[in-house]
Amino acid sequence: MKKFGLLLIGGISAMILLSTIGPMIGFLVSLVLLYFIFKQFLKTDSTGGKIGLGIVGFFILMASIHNAPAIIGVVAAYVLYLVYKKWNENKRVIVKETDPFVNFEKQWNDINK
């Protein structure tokens, strides 16, 4: 039942991730452009250049806000990662041995090494 729940959550998050790949790419491109425009804005000395870069930066900022559903895609990718980690988790089974001489043999082998 636990695996079925993980499969269901993983399937839903995979569908959400696939449906938001476009906005994620647009968000990434707009943020990279915004970064380079900001760097140029800080480098330039002319007032006209700063005004022009500020206007272009404002439009690209609006484009990046328009791609805000990409954040949902990032969250879906993180949930998919958590499901993957949980699915491949190894369960450790501790078996208590009732034979008292097994522990003695282990300790004896450790002493002889």
What share of the chain has pLDDT > 70, as a percent?
A: 88
Confidence of residue 102 (pLDDT cuts 50, 70, 90): low
Say which residues have a Cβ less than 8 Å from residue 72's Cβ, sequence separation at least 6.
Answer: 16, 20
Helix axis angle, 47-66 relative to 21-43, nearest 10°?
170
**What would the two tokens of residue 23 be?**
């906005």
Model confidence over 29-54: pLDDT tens digits? 999 999 999 999 999 999 999 999 99
Distance between CA 32 and CA 57 in Å, rounded?
11
pTM of the model: 0.65
| pLDDT for the residue numbered 108 | 77
